[in-house]
Every structure is written in C-alpha cells, then in structure tokens.
Amino acid sequence: QGDDGDEDFNLTQTPTHSQVQRNLERRSQDQVNQKVSELVQFLLVKDQKKIPIKRADILKKVIREYKDVYSEIVNRAGRTLQQVFGLQLVEIDTKHHIYILTSDLPRAEGENMRRDNQTAKLGLLIVILSFIFMKGNSVKD
C-alpha cells in the first residue's frame, strides 16, 4: 500500500514457493523464458543509465500479467546476469524494493589493467554477442 505504485503487490499477497511452482506449470516455458530475457535487458539498460531499479517498475514495465511467477522470473534473470555478465542483482532498499547490479568479477590489477586496441575490440565483441544471445540468437543489423 505504498506510494511507489507497488500497492497491488504487497507482502501479504506474495505467493509461496509451491504456489509459484503451480503457477509456473500453467504458463508456457517459452513465455516465461521470454519474460526472463526481457527482464535481463531491462535491468542492463537501467544499470547502464545508473538508475536504481524499482520492483514497481519491473512489475509494471516487464512482468505485467506474470505477477504470479514474479519471484521465479527474477531468480532466473539473476542467474542469467551472474552467469553471462558476471553481475549480481542486489536489493539495496528492502522497504521500497530497490535493486542495483554489482560486478561479481574479480578486480583486475597490475598487468591485467593494460588496455590496448585488442582489449577494446574484445569488450565490444562481448557486448554484441551477449545482446545477440539475449535476443534469442538472432538480431537485425
């Protein structure tokens, strides 16, 4: 019942793990996976713009009618972010449910800090390939 647009998804309505599993069985896995990909893209864009991520925004702009499986979609998106991008989804404000992405990768030191033209190209290549992966292995020019 907050003023952050989150009133229709308060803690008293949060489904249990078994309810989420039953709701998942009713949904197409392709649809759920699509929502996971959309959420990963949404989180990456917000992170790039350095905007804190609100649960209300996630629900309104990405999850929409999949609220009943919200926790599973967020968990899968978190795993994808960790495995593909080395990022961790961290809740920084438990009252207002605000998240940020933090790097899980070890900090480079000394010789590893050297940047050259090849390193820059490799970084760009990884970003492009990750984007293609998140779009289902196919994107337009």
Domains, the chain, with CATH or none: 17-108 (1.10.10.1200)
Give the residue carrying structure tokens 């590893």: 112
Distance CA 64, CA 80 (A): 20
pLDDT digits (tens, 9 = 90+) for 5-42: 444 444 435 566 677 677 777 777 888 889 999 999 99
Q: Are 98 and 53 contacting, i.e. CB atoms less than 8 angstroms apart? A: yes
pTM score of the predicted model: 0.65
Q: Which of 43, 21, 41 lies closest to 90, judged by CA?
A: 43
Helix (H, G, I), strand (E, B) or coil at 9: coil
